[in-house]
A and B are shown apart, each in its own frame.
Chain A
Amino acid sequence: MGKAAAELPQSKIGAPKMIRVDGRGNGNSLIQVRGLSKTYRRGGEEIQVLQRLNLDVDKGDFVGFMGPSGSGKTTLLNLLGGLDVPTQGSITVAGDEITHMSASKLTQWRARHVGFIFQMYNLIPVLTAFQNVELPLLLTKLSKSERRKHVETALSVVGLPDRMNHYPRQLSGGQEQRVAIARAIVADPTFLLCDEPTGDLDRKSADEIMSLIHRLVKEYGKTVLMVTHDPVVAKQADLTLHLEKGLLVEGGPQRQEVAAGGVA
């Protein structure tokens, strides 16, 4: 992992914060990852995707993960989102250690704490934008009118209050991703996980989506962890960490920019 202590200043969100990847965080971080490893067995071969990662992310951080294909970005995101379980190590989110939760507990935890934004939007094609956004709320005890209020608010935040009765096929790619973002934020999760959120969009739509994510961080104080392999998109994160061969490494292009005086 290069130098043991990699303390990277965050320049974009208020006072500079420290994203630590050395496992020596202050214990108050929103997300604490310790010694995280993930190994897959394919045939008779063991493939180590992640190797003893440490990470501390504070509330309101916007962290990007870059790296070549197969470097473990999506695996890391899956582990952080409780979609997969690590081979070793622990993940603690807002005081809850998720690595030892049962599958059903983990499902409940995801519903409460994680908002997912996928590359392919993953909207349910037979549901309207409203119904898609409402999906996470159906798991809550909110009344129908309360759900409607939340959905309308979420769709307003993403700029699509007039598209709530449209089906995904009636929306552009950028609009679909906005709906997906509305679905991710509607239940007010603890943090958002974005897996290549602009990967399927043209540059203009990608910029719009990134500015929306930025707004979620700045105006609403959301914590965002984003995987991308697009350097232009990665630049918009407050800090980008690089994954190479299962290791979080410092000194990637973003690191150098941060060191040189912050991200534009």
Chain B
Amino acid sequence: MKFSGLIFANLFRKKVRLLLTIGSFAVALFLFAFLAVVKSAFSRGTEVAGADRLVIASRVGLMQTLPISYDDKIAAIPGVKAVTHNHWFGGVYQDEKNFFVQFVIDPENMRKVMNEFVVPDDQWANFEKDRQGAVVGVKTAKRFGWKIGDRIPIKNSLYGPTKTWEFNLDGIYHNDRPGGDENQFWIQWKYFDENVPAGVKSTAGWYVLKLDNPDDAARVAKSIDNMFANSTYETKTETESAFAAGFVKQFGNIEFLIESIGMVVFFTLLLVTGNTMAISVRERISELGVLKAIGYSDRSVLFFVLAESLVIALIGGVLGLGLALVAVPVLGAALNGLLPSLVLSPAILSLGLLVALLVGGISGLLPGIGAMRMRVVNALRRV
């Protein structure tokens, strides 16, 4: 384009300012990408939740357990295809920082309900036979360099005095849902039940059931909650996605928090860039006046200002998002287990670029309109 020389020459007029403005964009877009990745990580549980699954937890909250006897009663409700139960184990492998999710599972029914978790049959068979057996997600196995047959000591203080539980690694699972969790560590309920204090024996943390037909979700949930109404252990049954969303909410309103920070970043960037563009235009009013005098239209002047602003936004945006592309996997690895997998998706990258261009466009618009409306005679007087 024949005007590119003029646009780029003006861009590089104040190199330090250009670098700082591009830097602001890059940092802001990096932050944007990171926040979006965290937000998406928190909501991924909801996105990958099965539409045909219900979760039954205590009406009081997740910390309250339910009797294991509910298992058969739930399974007997028409429309329920299979039921399984889980418990939170909450142990520590070697060091507190080596956090990963550990669930006590029911091997008999687990795969009937949670069929996205794929474990080779021979490994699963070994696990079922081995009371001290464990199955781990491929990511956690990779993280700690575990292989089948390894003995894994997990220190636990949630159930009685602190003691080390030892498990044999019998299987490694993959998740066949895109973005699905591959970090969990599963142990057998029977072994758990034998070793926990009396108050925890014969309990489940929560139940998960699979429906014959997702359309029956409301009816089955109502039947379960009615069945245990007015008992010592009342239940709250909800779809798995609602349960996942509720779980995320335990951390506070993450979505609101992230969106608020994102908006602050957006407006700060808008003010910074808008101010820079306004200064940049003000500094060369007379030059823009000369351009108009020699025949450049008002729209051309607006175009030049907008083009500069958009180029800054584009370069800064690409840099920031590029930085995020490199940094997110590193941060994800550093936070492994504390947050669900951090994935910088093409959708987030596209949205980031769109936000950058939007900020660039808006911040260039006001000074550009000012330059467009400026009278040549007044501009030339400012030489």
> Do the beta carbons of B293 and A131 come within 8 Å of each other?
no
Chain A residues in 8 Å Cβ range of B376: 83-84
Partner of A122, one of B9, B286, B297, B375: B286
Q: Is A65 an interface residue, CB under 8 A from the partner?
A: no
> Do the beta carbons of B9 and A126 come within 8 Å of each other?
yes
> Do the beta carbons of B2 and A81 come within 8 Å of each other?
no
Q: Is B6 an interface residue, CB under 8 A from the partner?
A: yes
> Do the beta carbons of A183 and B294 come within 8 Å of each other?
yes
Q: Is A173 an interface residue, CB under 8 A from the partner?
A: no
Chain B residues in 8 Å Cβ range of A126: 9-10, 12-13
Q: Is B377 an interface residue, CB under 8 A from the partner?
A: yes
Chain A residues in 8 Å Cβ range of B9: 124, 126-127, 131
The smallest beta-carbon distance between B209 and chain A, in angstroms, is 70
- Of A6-14, A135-143, A205-213, A255-263, the segment with at least 4 beta carbons within 8 Å of chain B is A135-143
> Do the beta carbons of B287 and A122 come within 8 Å of each other?
yes
Q: Is B295 an interface residue, CB under 8 A from the partner?
A: yes
Q: Is A78 an interface residue, CB under 8 A from the partner?
A: yes
Q: Is B101 an interface residue, CB under 8 A from the partner?
A: no
Complex interface bits, A115-146 against B, C-beta within 8 A gives 1, otherwise 0: 01011101011110001000110110000100
- Of A17-25, A91-99, A105-113, the segment with at least 4 beta carbons within 8 Å of chain B is A105-113
Q: Is B383 an interface residue, CB under 8 A from the partner?
A: yes
> Do the beta carbons of B290 and A124 come within 8 Å of each other?
yes
Total residue contacts A-B, CB cutoff 8 A: 67
Chain B residues in 8 Å Cβ range of A122: 286-287, 290, 380, 383
Q: State the main secondary structure of chain B at its contact with A.
A: helix
> What total of chain B residues lie within 8 Å of the partner, measured CB to CB?
24
Q: Is B298 an interface residue, CB under 8 A from the partner?
A: yes
- Contact A144 to B295, CB < 8 A, known contacts A124-B290, A126-B10: no
Chain A residues in 8 Å Cβ range of B375: 84
Of all chain B residues, the one with the shortest Cβ separation from A183 is B294
Q: Is B3 an interface residue, CB under 8 A from the partner?
A: yes
Chain A residues in 8 Å Cβ range of B292: 107
> Do the beta carbons of B294 and A136 come within 8 Å of each other?
yes
Partner of A81, one of B5, B12, B291, B293: B293
> What total of chain A residues lie within 8 Å of the partner, measured CB to CB?
27
Q: Is B296 an interface residue, CB under 8 A from the partner?
A: yes
C-alpha gap A83/B12 in the complex (Å): 30
C-alpha gap A138/B290 in the complex (Å): 14
> Do the beta carbons of A83 and B380 come within 8 Å of each other?
yes
Chain A residues in 8 Å Cβ range of B6: 124, 127, 131, 135, 138
C-alpha gap A122/B290 in the complex (Å): 7
Chain B residues in 8 Å Cβ range of A78: 377
> Do the beta carbons of B13 and A116 come within 8 Å of each other?
no
Interface residues of B in 293-342 (CB under 8 A from A): 293-298
The smallest beta-carbon distance between B173 and chain A, in angstroms, is 61
Complex interface bits, B1-26 against A, C-beta within 8 A gives 1, otherwise 0: 01101100110110000000000000
C-alpha gap A131/B2 in the complex (Å): 11
The smallest beta-carbon distance between B376 and chain A, in angstroms, is 5
Of all chain A residues, the one with the shortest Cβ separation from B9 is A126
Chain B residues in 8 Å Cβ range of A138: 2-3, 6
> Do the beta carbons of A83 and B377 come within 8 Å of each other?
yes
Chain A residues in 8 Å Cβ range of B13: 125-126
> Do the beta carbons of A107 and B380 come within 8 Å of each other?
no
Chain A residues in 8 Å Cβ range of B297: 104, 107-108
Chain A residues in 8 Å Cβ range of B293: 81, 83, 110, 116
> Do the beta carbons of B5 and A107 come within 8 Å of each other?
no
Q: Is A171 an interface residue, CB under 8 A from the partner?
A: no
C-alpha gap A81/B380 in the complex (Å): 13
Chain B residues in 8 Å Cβ range of A112: 295
- Contact A118 to B295, CB < 8 A, known contacts A83-B377, A126-B9, A127-B9: no
- Among A83, A108, A131, the most chain B Cβ lie within 10 Å of the Cβ of A83
The smallest beta-carbon distance between B275 and chain A, in angstroms, is 21
C-alpha gap A105/B63 in the complex (Å): 77
The smallest beta-carbon distance between A167 and chain B, in angstroms, is 10
Q: Is A103 an interface residue, CB under 8 A from the partner?
A: yes
Of all chain A residues, the one with the shortest Cβ separation from B14 is A126
C-alpha gap A84/B298 in the complex (Å): 15
Chain A residues in 8 Å Cβ range of B380: 83, 118, 122
Chain B residues in 8 Å Cβ range of A107: 292, 295-298
- Contact A127 to B5, CB < 8 A, known contacts A83-B377, A118-B380: yes
Chain A residues in 8 Å Cβ range of B286: 122
The smallest beta-carbon distance between B314 and chain A, in angstroms, is 20
Of all chain A residues, the one with the shortest Cβ separation from B3 is A138
Of all chain B residues, the one with the shortest Cβ separation from A137 is B2
C-alpha gap A122/B293 in the complex (Å): 11
The smallest beta-carbon distance between A247 and chain B, in angstroms, is 21
Chain A residues in 8 Å Cβ range of B2: 138, 144
Chain A residues in 8 Å Cβ range of B294: 110-111, 116, 135-136, 183
> Do the beta carbons of B383 and A120 come within 8 Å of each other?
yes
The smallest beta-carbon distance between B204 and chain A, in angstroms, is 72
> Do the beta carbons of B5 and A139 come within 8 Å of each other?
no
Partner of B295, one of A108, A125, A127: A108
The smallest beta-carbon distance between A231 and chain B, in angstroms, is 24
C-alpha gap A126/B286 in the complex (Å): 14
Known: A78-B377, A107-B297, A111-B295. 12 other contacts (CB 8 A): A84-B376, A107-B296, A108-B295, A110-B294, A116-B290, A120-B383, A124-B6, A124-B9, A126-B12, A127-B6, A131-B6, A139-B296
18 A-B residue contacts at CB 8 Å? A78-B377, A83-B380, A84-B375, A84-B376, A104-B297, A108-B295, A110-B293, A111-B294, A118-B290, A118-B380, A122-B286, A122-B383, A124-B290, A125-B287, A131-B6, A136-B294, A138-B6, A183-B294
Top 3 closest A-B pairs, CB basis?
Answer: A111-B295, A126-B9, A122-B290
